[in-house]
Structure 1
Amino acid sequence: MLIRPMTDADLPAAASLMRELSLEFILHEGSADAAAFFTAENDEAGLRGFMAAGTVYYAAEIDGALAGFIALRGNSHVYHMFVDKVHHGKGVARALWEHARRQARERGNRGVFTVNASNYAVAVYGRLGFVRTAPTQCKNGIFFNPMQLDEAAHG
């Protein structure tokens, strides 16, 4: 597995992967309007816009194909993390997270990270050391769980 900065060439595959996974694991809990808004905001152009605005994306590549990706906003907030279902449970999410975490620390992050995890992803982030900081919330029809990792407190 190769973890590398995501490029424009990755955007079609990343947008497709995100759409497929979000429909199955996130958007089924909310309204059709919320799903439409989310998918429109997070299409190929949306991802390109997030990158242009400074959100840092890393891609996991296996056998030349995009296996997943992670994005950090503001050097501390996990904004996106999606892993192709064929690679679930194989350490791709952990590898992406560890790479993004190391890069953020090198850029000055002091070891505090946040994420708004989907209900499906709470357990994944929990295994990475994140803990809930508030009950499940809903914004724009999308349910999420605020979580934080404080490396000083975590150990």
Structure 2
Amino acid sequence: MDIRPLDLADAPNLVPAMAALLRSLALEFIVHESTPLGASTFLAENDEMGIRGYLARGHVYHVAFDDGQLAGFISIRDNSHVFHLFVGTPWQRQGLARRLWHAARAAAIARGGDGNFTVNTSNHAVPTYERFGFVRVAPTQCLKGLYFNPMRLCCAED
């Protein structure tokens, strides 16, 4: 497994695969709990154009490849907020999410982050973030028809 920062020169070739992976996983694990409007809004905001926009706004992505195939990715906004963390179904429950998290967290701290992180996660991913040391900071929220759980990690090592 190869985990590396997303090179902006590679982005035009990788963003379509990232958007396709995100869409398939969102349909399976996230948006089925949302309102129809929430689901369509989330999918529209996280399509190829959306991911390109996040890159343009400074989100830092790390990508994981298994024999040249995109296995997962993570993005961090402002060195402190986990914005995306998606791992393809064949690679789930093998520690890839944790490896992506470690790489992204270390890079964010190296860029000046203080080690405090937030995430707004789906119900499905709450246990994963809890294993990383995140704790809920509020009950489940709904914004634009999408349900999420605000969580925080305060300078903890896992």
Which of 120, 126, 143 is the aligned partner of 2:147?
143
Greater displacement, 32-41 / 117-126:
32-41
Are 2:110 and 1:106 aligned?
yes
Deviations 1:65-95 (A, max 9, x none): 1000000001100000000011110111000
Q: Secondary structure at the match of 2:41?
A: helix
Counterparts of 1:5 and 1:109, CA distance in 2:
16
Q: TM-score, normalised by structure 1?
A: 0.96
Q: Give the aligned partner of residue 126 of structure 2.
A: 122
Give runs of ≥4 in structure 1 deviating > 2 Å.
none
Which of 58, 65, 72 is matched with 1:68 structurally?
A: 72
Fraction of identical pairs, as percent? 54
What SS is found at the alignment partner of 2:23? Answer: helix
CA-atom RMSD in angstroms:
1.2
Cα offset for 1:57?
A: 0.7
**Residue number among 72, 81, 86 corresponding to 1:82 in the alignment:** 86
Cα distance in 2 between the residues matched to 1:60 and 1:15 = 14
Q: 2:119 is aligned with what amino acid?
A: V
The runs of 5 or more residues in structure 2 that have no matched partner are none
Aligned residues between the structures = 154
Q: Which runs of 5+ in 1 are unaligned?
A: none
Q: TM-score, normalised by structure 2?
A: 0.94
